Amino acid sequence: MSLQFQPLVSLKPFNSFGVDVKARLFAEAHSDQDVREALAYAGSHALPLLVIGGGSNLLLTADIDALVLRMATRGIQIVTDDGERVVIEAQAGEPWHPFVLQTLAQGLSGLENLSLIPGTVGAAPMQNIGAYGVEIKDVFAGLTALDRHSGELRDFNLAECSFGYRDSLFKQQPGRWLILRVRFALSRVERLHLEYGPVRQRLSEQGIEQPTASDVSQAICSIRSEKLPDPAVLGNAGSFFKNPLVPAAQVAQLKRQYPDVVAYPQADGQMKLAAGWLIERAGWKGFREGDAGVHKLQALVLVNYGGATGGELLDLAQRIQRDIAERFHVELEMEPNRY
């Protein structure tokens, strides 16, 4: 057995909130065989198995009585290339943003709007990550996952993943599928998505009239750096709450009391409310209690100022949920997975 199991390992370096909890056992997978060994070990020792990637979508509230397996597999390869459309595959443990930069360096566009999102490639389809008008589903070409129940490998196409807003089959069936590698359909012909005003404005400020995909990536990196704290400096998991989807009639009712409410129409007739606006309007932006707080520049982001526990952060999140429900009759849903 090549996999190295370590007892009572602190997970502080492996979650972007920087919460200090311990794993009963910890191991890192560098191959499919490592993954199978971890599954076999957990099964034979009646241990739960928790698989993590970059730890950027986790809120750990207690010590983890399980085998924690960190996906550290690496590798990027071109699967098909017809001169314009290029399908590229990346292993689950590849860090997301460096992967995006590598595709751009190869002259491939499609992922530029998803620049500077923390985490790993394998975690991206779980949440159907998205930003500035682009989601994983828009560039998805397939993935390979291991069925933890049967031990079989399965390839998934777009329709089989049931992608939704920050949702997927893999999130809906926790503990069933372990994503090993993901394929993306990118293009040598740039078709830029510049619908979001801040992106166009930043490019204009930089005097860029005919942007490239790399220009868009750099603009988005600068915008995100200004709005969102660096987890290496201030513990956080990015946007902590989903933007709630509500009926148009509810938004119309809210507008009568709050004319400046921020909401976006959706294809199905619903409206997507800006959770950050709701939280800021309720007065939570910049709130701090002990070392748990809400970021002073972005109300969607909960932060750990150093010594907050996962329980304290969860308590703060639940207080915000209750307040928003009472004030606006809107239910906020947390994005991070909680353990």
Q: What is residue 331's predicted lDDT score, i.e. its pLDDT?
A: 97
**Active-site entry in 70, 148, 166, 181:** 166
Q: What is the mean pLDDT of residues 299-310?
A: 97
Give the tens place of pLDDT for each residue, 205-249: 999 999 999 999 999 999 999 888 999 899 999 999 999 999 999
Average pLDDT, the chain: 95
- The reported pLDDT for the residue numbered 2 is 80
Q: How far apart are CA 143 and CA 126, in angstroms?
A: 11
Reported pTM? 0.91
Q: What confidence tier does 54 reach under pLDDT thresholds 50, 70, 90?
A: very high
CATH architecture assigned to 6-71: 2-Layer Sandwich (3.30)
Distance CA 196, CA 264 (A): 12
List phi, psi (to 5°) of 49.
-120, 120
Give the active site residue among 112, 202, 239, 281: 239
Domain ranges of the chain: 6-71, 76-187, 235-338
Is 239 part of the annotated catalytic residue set? yes
Distance of CA 329 to the CA centre of its chain: 26
Q: Which of 28, 190, 280, 335 is the catalytic position? A: 335
Catalytic site includes residue 109: no
Report pLDDT digits (tens) over 72-116. 999 999 999 999 999 999 999 999 999 999 999 999 999 999 999
CB 72 within 8 A of CB 27: no
Residue 34's pLDDT is 97
The verdict on whether 335 is a catalytic residue reads yes
| Residue 267 pLDDT | 86
Residue 69 pLDDT: 98
* Percent of the chain whose predicted confidence (pLDDT) is above 90: 94
**Is 70 exceeded by the pLDDT of residue 1?**
no
CATH top class, domain 76-187: alpha beta
What's residue 243's pLDDT? 95
* pLDDT of 195 strictly over 90: no
- CATH 3.90.78.10 is held by the domain 235-338: yes
Top mean pLDDT of 170-174, 227-231, 308-312 is at 308-312
Instruction: Say if 76-187 and 235-338 have the same CATH topology.
Output: no
